[in-house]
Chain A
Amino acid sequence: MRPTARRVGVVPICLSALLAAGAAFAQAKPVKVGLSSAFSGHVGFIGADARRGIELAIEELKTANTAVAYELSIADDECTPAGGATAFRRLMDVQQVDVIIGSGCSGATLGGMPTLMDGKLSAVTYGSTNPKITEGAGVGGNPYMWRMNLNDTIIGETFAAFIAKDGVKSAHILAVNNDFGRGAAGVYQALLPKNDVKVNGADFFSQGASDLRALISKIAARSPDAILLFGEPPDCALMARQKREMNLKAKIFSRGGCYTDESLKLMGDPRLGDGLTEAAYWARTPDQPMVEAYRKRHGDYPPYNAALAYYAMMTVDQAVRKAGPSRDGITKGLAQVDWKSAIGPIKFDANHQARPDLFMVRIENGEQKVIETISNAR
């Protein structure tokens, strides 16, 4: 199960081959990994988080595996489609990387995807959830785009059923006005009615908007049982605080990181988040060694972007072992990856979509608690 343990076993077997191949292979130039994420702007923290996760993975791989060394380059995609196109292009042509990890944002991933074709370079996203990426990848047309994390359709089917089971009869969608928020809103507008939950309406706010009061006033006037919130941690914290200020009673179900430590910290009083439930593609479950390793390095628990980027890097390493470190090898290797990770199985289907576990996380007494881990493996 634990990737490091397995790798230790692999080393002696490879050793003789390595010796035969000579030091040349061991000292061959390192595999260049490019990270495309937001490093500036109001979500600039997600890039910094992902970088730490990947660096941890590379560090662990270095101690466990002397055959291949990894070297990380980063590019700022600002979480926008245009930024994604520029960042992917930069990593591909200027940094000459062998594989891209990213983007962490759906918009940037969608923007960057088409450029991959030119360089025959694979990209593995660890955090984009917009279903369009799956639809366009693999047999969908783009053989170089891969998604390690769950997409909104897969999450949506499970989450919509969960919400209905929780007693919700009507809901209003409140989402950030970008590819992630719009994509997710579309998914739940279709899926909730199938589970007999009425959708009152959908409203969108600008990324980084500081005031949701006008929107909350409007939603409160229609008194839905629940609000589905799709946003980043700062948006969730704002929602929690303004919900208290306006004495709003609706339950909150969320996607995008409302359960995270940064979200709770931004609420001021983390108990403002009590009762909020998020369907999370990553949560701090006890059986993940990387959580403690990360904490030892950085003093804090890993944010979800760091954890997912860590697993994406490990997935890339799995591909390198299968078919070698070149661009072509990694693309071939990714198709063969069949890895039981600590967050569930990583194996790409015809649309290059993997299906790790989904975590239902609820805030209780100001702390995140995983109330259910759902396997999506088919």
Chain B
Amino acid sequence: MAGEPVLQLQDVHAGYGEIRILKGVSFAIEPGTVTSVIGANGAGKSTLLKTIFGMVQASDGAIRLDGRDVTGLKSEERLQRGIAIVPQGRCNFPLMSVQENLELGAFIRRDGDIKADIEAMYGLFSSLDAKRKVIAGNLSGGEQQMLEIAMALMTRPRVMLLDEPSLGLSPRMLDYVFSSIRDLARGHGTAILMVEQNAVQALRISDRGIVIELGRVSHQGSGVEMLSEPDVRRAYLGLPADRNAP
């Protein structure tokens, strides 16, 4: 767990117009790790991801990528520097083929390796390989989720933000998605920050957990620590406070 953080937030405030949602969030994540953000509905989890990506502008505080301040940058510029996002809900181009979607995933790139990277994605997500020409809207929910993660990976991100990757997936598909996420972090060295309703399962594959409460970080620790923290278990995991209780 030692090493330089890839992403660092320091006292970040953000919101929509007059409504303040994040009221001073600070944490850091390291390369090759998975971090889960949990919290009640409306606590500001999605806003947190959007603020890191620049879809919502921080009104105060600093966001640093590899030690460099990106707080004032636009989304496209953050994407260029290595922050990618898979927003909540369907996030592909439903009337374009899998191939076209992956090409658009590399929209900001102008190098010659795009074709090779697309082939690499087909290697990584074999279920997409057979469906290169299929319209994205006709894929299953799990396949679409895979496609969206693959699209985000096309920018070769240093940090990937996932908003509810398990939403609407069957339990079997969910296991597959979570294990893929863990493998991605380990294999590619990508830092993954995800917001997840399935908090228990998310924490199991996470290196760290962060609890957001009323726009602030209330608890943080390793995934295992979070799973045994009584307040967190009771309030967010739907488990009894004492892990040894019946």
Report A-B touching, CB under 8 Å.
no
Binding site for B on A (CB under 8 A): none
